[in-house]
Amino acid sequence: MPPRPPLTWSSLPALALRPVPASLALRPVPTSLAPHTQTRGIRSILPVDLRLSRWDQDNPHAKSPTALSTDKALERKSYTLPHRTGVIARKKGMTAIYDPETGVRTPCTVLQLDRNQVVAVKTRKKHGYCAVQVGFGWRKPQNCTRPELGHYAKARVAPKEELHEFKVRNEEALLPVGALLGPSWFKEGQFVDTKSNTKGHGFTGGMKRHGFSGQPASHGNSLTHRAMGSAGGSQGSGSRVHPGKKMAGRMGNESHTIQNLKVLKVDEENGIIVVNGCVSGPKNCLVNIQDAKKKPWQATDLGLPTRPLSLETVVEEAVVAAAEPVGDAEVVAAA
Amino acid sequence: MAAQRRWHTIIPRDQLSNPPEGIPVTWLKPRKKLSKIYVHPPPRSMPKKCPDPVGVVTASQLATLDSSGARARLFDKENTEGVRVGDVLHVRMREGEPVSGVCLNIRRRGVETAILLRNQLTRVGVEVWVKVFSPLVQSVEIVQRRVRRARRARLYYMRQPKHDMGSVEGLVRTYLRQRAVLGSGGKGAAEMLGKKGKGKGKKK
Amino acid sequence: MIQLKTLLNCIDNSGAAIVECIKVLRMERAARVGDRIIVVVQKQRNFGPESGPGGSVSISAANKVRRGDIRHAVVVRTAKKTQRKDGTVVRFDDNACVLINKNGEPIGSRFNGVVGRELRDKQWSKILSLAPMHV
């Protein structure tokens, strides 16, 4: 390795390109004055204060093309983002509901919520987008890593079986950490989207996975009845298999959203939400439920809650739960 | 360098004062003590409180659709007086014409319990699955018991011309006439089925 | 599930006995009860015993359609199960239809067989009123 040249003032770039002293850059300058806009040079080499997030709109250096384009993108997308966070539920099975008046039978899926709590929130300022991280169920502390335990301890909630981030439209939709979300978060008659993993089918052939036709059973055919056939042309198409060619492979167990399912029943006592029709996935799979994206926002019509149970209730519940023996309340992680 | 790379001996802390000679020694770093992390207790478990949510929804449905539980008893597998495959049934609906036929199959699924009735109307075989807890079903009456217990759970062989029972209209008409004479009112199906069954037997 | 080449019983007195589906109209899927199809008459009905002695004259009069005729028809019974709003499921032992003209009026004046109730939902009230029974 050649010896590095000594760092001297003479070797630094011209004065105009020299970094602004950190003490100056720290102070957010009023935009009207905007001294940084008059600095000549390449913007990307200007020093960026690391203590201020690049998503922070008060940070003058955050007015970079990246931040602006992200802002614009979020603004464009905002009308498709839900006004409220969603919850995580477990699919328990299907049944039907009869209307006693008309006798109409409605097939439905029964979902059960379990200890949905807000574990963290993501803000536009710090993370660049708004989201609510919701936890589901309970996991043994022995089965958590120390960083996970620290994350839960910071939120003052018990370790969760599953975490999911629900994107929301703006900061108003962010909820206090630790808040408990029950089925009454949804109202009967409203529409929701459910997102869950479909049933896994394992490694399947082209006929089952993509609906290929297969080959004839007879007419001199031997041993190839369900094969996928040709994978593409020869020289004309480059003598290669084109990207995205449908082939045999693992089928199912992939995320699938079903939009606009009507909520038929809400049972706060037993944690039950009943939705119209079917939801992807096997029984006991986890389902994310959120307000329907493609329906008008019905908060006022249906009286949808925008704030969950008060935090006092959460604490109360925790105290009651603490009285019951649930295992080690305190864990020394080194053990 | 390569010559020095040999097995190193790890010495416990308390023996550090007198290391053995001639063997390269790796000194154990003092281990950093990990801080304790408080684990908060969980709120009440919902699956523990309600282990069978589908059952809860079904029960709430049955409470409104079959408050007396008579219909559920009629289709209870344990109930010897209940409906069994091979029986000729007459189902009266709240609106529209009643459905009757021989019961080929009983699908017991809580509130989704259904029966498959086969009949011949205008010499065409018609099969109807009826959801027995549907609010449109007013009553399920047993017109005729099967003489012997069916030895299959599903009597699909009765679709074959050889085993087809044909129309049950005659049986139903006789049953309805007899019931009108006896004036039993036809409120509960389970009460009258004993009498009706015997009556049918004599006629045969 | 009525599709190309399906043979159906014709249950009206137009003179056709067995017809074959050659087209399901305005649908990509198979036809069900109440759907309109195009059929070709494969077998004529023999009105001999019904028309009594000397009926040979009236055979031609009774048969409004002949073998090989192409007509429109409405499916009235299917062997495929049909589910209804209240959860009941109905299936028949055969597939059957009645012939209609281009305006949707039945060619026959009398039907001899049970028909599905789905006809009511699809505005075939005239066929329903002519049928002896509907399920």
At C70 the pLDDT is: 96
Q: Are C71 and C99 in contact (CB under 8 A)?
A: yes
Asked whether the beta carbons of residue A158 and residue B43 sit closer than 8 angstroms, the reply is yes
Q: What is the pLDDT of residues B59-108, one digit of tens each?
A: 999 999 999 999 999 999 999 999 999 999 999 999 889 999 999 999 99
How much is the average pLDDT of C112-132?
A: 93
At A325 the pLDDT is: 45
Q: How many residues does chain C have?
A: 135
Q: Is the pLDDT of residue B16 over 50?
A: yes
At C45 the pLDDT is: 86
Q: What is the pLDDT of residues A313-324, one digit of tens each?
A: 555 555 555 555
Q: What is the DSSP string of A52-119?
A: S-TT-TT-GGG-SHHHHHHHHHHHHHGGGS-SS--EEEEEEEEEEEE-TTT--EEEEEEEEE--EEEE
DSSP class of B86: T
Domains within chain C, CATH numbers bracketed = 7-134 (2.40.150.20)
Structure tokens at C98: 């009645």
Q: Is the pLDDT of residue B197 over 70?
A: no
Compute how many other C-beta atoms are within 10 angstroms of the C-beta atom of residue B125. Answer: 22
Residue C96 contacts by C-beta under 8 Å, 6 or more apart in sequence? B124, C8, C9, C10, C11, C75, C76, C77, C113, C115
Residue A330 to chain B, least CA–CA distance (Å)? 5
Structure tokens at A256: 């699938």
Q: Is the pLDDT of residue B4 over 70?
A: no
At A51 the pLDDT is: 62
C86 at the A interface (CB within 8 A)? yes
Interface test with A, best of C83, C84, C85 (most A CBs within 10 A): C85
How much is the average pLDDT of C52-61?
A: 47
d(CA A21, CA A252): 56
Q: Is the pLDDT of residue A274 over 60?
A: yes
Nearest to A55 by CA among A69, A42, A41: A69
Is B71 part of a structural domain of the chain?
yes
At A65 the pLDDT is: 62
Would you say the C-alpha torsion A35, A37, A39, A45 has a positive or negative sign?
A: positive
pLDDT band of B6, cuts 50, 70, 90:
low
Is B28 part of a structural domain of the chain?
no
Which chains border C (3 or more CB–CB pairs < 8 Å)?
A: A, B
User: CATH number of the domain at A87-199+253-323, out of 3.40.50.11610, 3.40.50.300, 2.40.30.10, 1.10.3720.10?
Assistant: 2.40.30.10
A105 interaction partners in chain C (CB closer than 8 Å): 85-87
At B180 the pLDDT is: 92
Residue A249 contacts by C-beta under 8 Å, 6 or more apart in sequence? A203, A204, A209
Q: What is the DSSP string of B180-198?
A: HHHT-TTS-HHHHHHHHHH
Which chains border A (3 or more CB–CB pairs < 8 Å)?
A: B, C
Compute how many other C-beta atoms are within 10 angstroms of the C-beta atom of residue C65. Answer: 21
At B11 the pLDDT is: 61
How much is the average pLDDT of B140-164?
A: 95
Given the structure tokens 């809860």, which residue do they identify?
B56
Lowest mean pLDDT among A28-32, A79-83, A214-218: A28-32
- Cα separations in angstroms, A281 against A94, A132, A197, A209: 12, 24, 5, 16
pLDDT band of A55, cuts 50, 70, 90:
low
At A49 the pLDDT is: 58
Lowest mean pLDDT among A20-29, A110-119, A249-258, A288-297: A20-29
Residue A280 to chain C, least CA–CA distance (Å)? 22
Residue B7 contacts by C-beta under 8 Å, 6 or more apart in sequence? none
User: What's the half-sphere exposure (Cβ side, CA atoms, 13 Å) at A32?
Assistant: 0
Structural domains of chain B, count: 1
How much is the average pLDDT of A4-19?
A: 45
Provide the residue type at B50 as one letter. Answer: C
**Which of B114, B125, B130 is opposite residue C93, by nearest beta carbon?**
B125
Interface of A with C in 100-119 (CB under 8 A): 102-105
Q: What kind and span of H or E run contains A276?
A: strand A272-276
Q: What residue numbers bound the domain in which B103 lies?
A: 54-203
**Which of B56, B58, B135 is opposite residue A103, by nearest beta carbon?**
B135
Structure tokens at C41: 């008459």
d(CA B196, CA B172): 11
How much is the average pLDDT of A212-237?
A: 92
B24 against A322, higher pLDDT: B24
Q: What kind and span of H or E run contains A134?
A: strand A131-136
Residue C21 to chain B, least CA–CA distance (Å)? 21
How much is the average pLDDT of A90-100?
A: 96
At A321 the pLDDT is: 53
Mean pLDDT, chain A, integer: 81
At A132 the pLDDT is: 96
d(CA A279, CA A37): 53
Q: What is the pLDDT of residues B128-139, one digit of tens each?
A: 999 999 999 999
For the full predicted model, state whether its pTM sits above 0.95.
no
**Which of A110, A115, A333 is opposite residue B43, by nearest beta carbon?**
A115
φ, ψ (nearest 5 deg) of residue B125: -70, 135
Q: What is the pLDDT of residues B112-123, one digit of tens each?
A: 999 999 999 999
Q: What is the pLDDT of residues A163-188, one digit of tens each?
A: 999 999 888 889 999 999 999 999 99
Q: What is the pLDDT of residues A218-229, one digit of tens each?
A: 999 999 999 999
User: What's the half-sphere exposure (Cβ side, CA atoms, 13 Å) at A35?
Assistant: 6
Is B188 part of a structural domain of the chain?
yes
Nearest CA in chain B to C90: B128
What percent of chain B lies above the pLDDT cut of 90? 68
Q: What is the dihedral of CA B94, B99, B103, B108, to 10 degrees?
A: -30
**Which of B99, B127, B130 is opposite residue C91, by nearest beta carbon?**
B127
Is B38 part of a structural domain of the chain?
no
What ipTM goes with this model? Answer: 0.86
What percent of chain A lies above the pLDDT cut of 70? 71
A158 at the B interface (CB within 8 A)? yes
Is B106 part of a structural domain of the chain?
yes
Q: What kind and span of H or E run contains C17?
A: strand C16-24
Sorted by where each begins, the domain ranges of chain A are 87-199+253-323
Q: Residue A110 forms beta bridges with which residues?
A: A93, A274
Which CATH number characterizes residue B148's domain? 2.30.30.790
Is B22 part of a structural domain of the chain?
no
Asked whether the beta carbons of residue A272 and residue B50 sit closer than 8 angstroms, the reply is yes
At A70 the pLDDT is: 74
B129 at the C interface (CB within 8 A)? yes
A328 against A82, higher pLDDT: A82
Q: Is the pLDDT of residue C77 over 90?
A: yes
Asked whether the beta carbons of residue B44 and residue A317 sit closer than 8 angstroms, the reply is yes
At A126 the pLDDT is: 87
B136 at the A interface (CB within 8 A)? yes
d(CA C8, CA C21): 7
Q: Is the pLDDT of residue A294 over 80?
A: yes
B107 at the C interface (CB within 8 A)? no
Mean pLDDT, chain C, integer: 89
How much is the average pLDDT of B150-158?
A: 96
At A124 the pLDDT is: 86
Q: What kind and span of H or E run contains C42?
A: strand C36-44
Nearest CA in chain A to C85: A104
Pairing of strands B88-93, B99-107: antiparallel
